[in-house]
């Protein structure tokens, strides 16, 4: 006979809690640990003296304590927060790791000088950049979005039409296949000197480079998607009286969309890489130019601040692309993870 203090759940055996004693799940305790970690990080930031003057030290400490207080409040409200509470529980380990990483960064840079300055500024250096250079950063984000949006849109459209025509028409494929195989593998960044010479402005040259970097993967994947459509689909559509236009627009295009979105994902990644290089070398605007400007003036706090904005912005754009994919390809939702 099993002891009544043992709760059975399949092969999992856990001691039952005594009556009148509330059991706090491990995921909830992680939030308490995270709150304590943020509080400790704030104490290290404020009370451990800096080797050199570091503006915004007190502001950073208050911010860290504020995050810890919010986590404690969330622990008290728990299930009333709904989706926010579920997100906090799922990300409990990260909420503990982040203040630890910030504290290591803080100690190694501002407190002990273990990391050489000014190449590795403390977190306050990033806060100072955001506080004092907001306008320049916002203008750089806007310039990058305009250039990236124009280039990716043009490249994706051209790549889709090229791949569609190549996969659908053998006559067109005769001419486009050699071009794709010859020009496509050439690194787009190798064309920067030539493009900046041929185009009337650095902006138009940058748009062309981003479009070219996007065009190749979208064209190749669209071509593969159209060419790989099961012939039985066409036979069924023809039996039902479908015209060639119907076969192209209602059979070939929808069936190739999974490949098209993979091409768009690859094209966006290539376009972002070319965008940053083009901004650094010739366009003289955008986040790439901002990072290069900060490096030239040894303003490494601004440099890392620009890199953080760059990472968040481009990650957000990639996430948005995958959300669109899941909305369009509902039958393949979750097949490609991001």
Reported as a single tens digit per residue, the pLDDT across 294-308 is: 999 989 999 999 999
Q: What is the mean pLDDT of residues 185-198?
A: 85
pLDDT in tens, 253-297: 888 898 999 999 999 999 999 999 888 887 888 999 999 999 999
Separation CA 16–CA 34 (nearest Å): 27
| pLDDT tens-place string over residues 221-254 | 999 989 888 888 787 888 888 788 888 888 888 8
Q: Determine the average pLDDT of the residues in 167-194.
A: 89
Provide the residue ranges of all domains of the chain, joining segments of one domain with +.
Answer: 23-117, 134-332
DSSP state of 280: I
State the pLDDT confidence band at 8, using cuts at 50, 70 and 90.
very low
CB-CB contact of 224 with 167 (8 Å):
yes
At 142, the pLDDT band (50, 70, 90 cuts) reads very high
Torsions phi, psi of 263, nearest 5? -65, -40
Helix, strand, coil tally for the chain in percent (to 5): 80, 0, 20
Beta bridge partners of 13: 8
Bridge partners (DSSP) listed for residue 9: 12
150 or 330, which is more confident: 150
Whole-number Å distance between alpha carbons of 138 and 220? 35
**Distance (Å, whole) CA 153 – CA 160:** 11
3-state per-residue secondary structure call for 45-112: HHHCCCCCCCCCHHHHHHHHHHHHHHHHHHHHHHHHHCHHHHHHHHCHHHHHHHHHHHHHHHHHHHHC
- pLDDT at residue number 16: 54
CA dihedral 191, 194, 197, 200 (to 10 degrees): -50
Specify whether domain 134-332 bears CATH 3.40.50.10860: no
**Cis status of the peptide bond prior to 118, with omega within 30 of 0:** yes
* Average pLDDT score over the chain: 87
- The model's pTM is 0.83
pLDDT computed for residue 15 by the predictor: 53
Distance of CA 276 to the CA centre of its chain: 15
User: 286-311 b/e with 16+ CB inside 10 Å = b?
Assistant: bbbbbbbbbeeeebbbbbbbbeebbe
Contact (Cβ atoms closer than 8 angstroms) between residue 48 and residue 122 = no
Q: Are the C-beta atoms of 45 and 61 separated by less than 8 Å? A: yes
DSSP annotation of 292 reads H
**Dihedrals phi, psi of 312, to nearest 5 degrees:** -65, -40
∠ CA 164-169-172, rounded to 5°: 90
Give me the residues paired with residue 12 across strands: 9
In tens, the pLDDT along 19-57 reads 554 556 777 788 899 999 999 999 999 999 999 888 999
């Amino acid at each position: 006979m099993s002891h009544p203090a043992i709760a059975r759940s399949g092969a999992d055996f856990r001691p039952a809690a005594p009556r009148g004693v509330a059991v706090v799940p491990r995921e909830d305790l992680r939030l308490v640990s995270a709150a304590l970690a943020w509080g400790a990080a704030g104490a290290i930031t404020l009370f451990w003296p800096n080797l050199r003057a570091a503006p915004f030290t007190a502001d950073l400490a208050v911010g860290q304590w504020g995050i810890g207080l919010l986590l404690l409040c969330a622990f008290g409200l728990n299930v009333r927060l709904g989706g926010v509470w579920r997100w906090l529980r799922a990300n409990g380990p990260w909420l503990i790791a982040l203040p630890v990483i910030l504290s290591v960064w803080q100690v190694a840079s501002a407190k002990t000088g273990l990391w050489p300055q000014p190449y590795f500024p403390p977190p306050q250096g990033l806060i100072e950049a955001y506080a004092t250079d907001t306008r320049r950063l916002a203008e750089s984000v806007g310039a990058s979005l305009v250039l990236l949006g124009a280039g990716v849109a043009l490249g994706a459209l051209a790549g889709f039409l090229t791949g569609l025509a190549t996969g659908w028409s053998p006559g067109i494929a005769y001419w486009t296949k050699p071009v794709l195989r010859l020009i496509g593998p050439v690194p787009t960044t190798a064309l920067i000197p030539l493009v900046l010479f041929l185009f009337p402005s650095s902006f138009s040259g940058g748009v062309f480079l981003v479009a070219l970097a996007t065009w190749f993967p979208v064209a190749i994947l669209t071509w593969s998607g159209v060419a790989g459509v099961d012939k039985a689909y066409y036979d069924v559509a023809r039996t039902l009286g479908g015209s060639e236009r119907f076969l192209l627009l209602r059979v070939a295009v929808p069936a190739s969309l999974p490949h098209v979105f993979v091409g768009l994902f690859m094209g966006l990644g290539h376009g972002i890489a070319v965008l940053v290089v083009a901004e650094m070398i010739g366009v003289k605007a955008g986040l790439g130019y901002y990072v290069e400007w900060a490096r030239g003036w040894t303003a490494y706090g601004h440099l890392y601040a620009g890199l953080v904005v760059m990472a968040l912005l481009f990650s957000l754009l990639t996430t948005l692309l995958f959300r669109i994919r899941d909305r369009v390809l509902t039958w393949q939702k979750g097949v490609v993870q991001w």
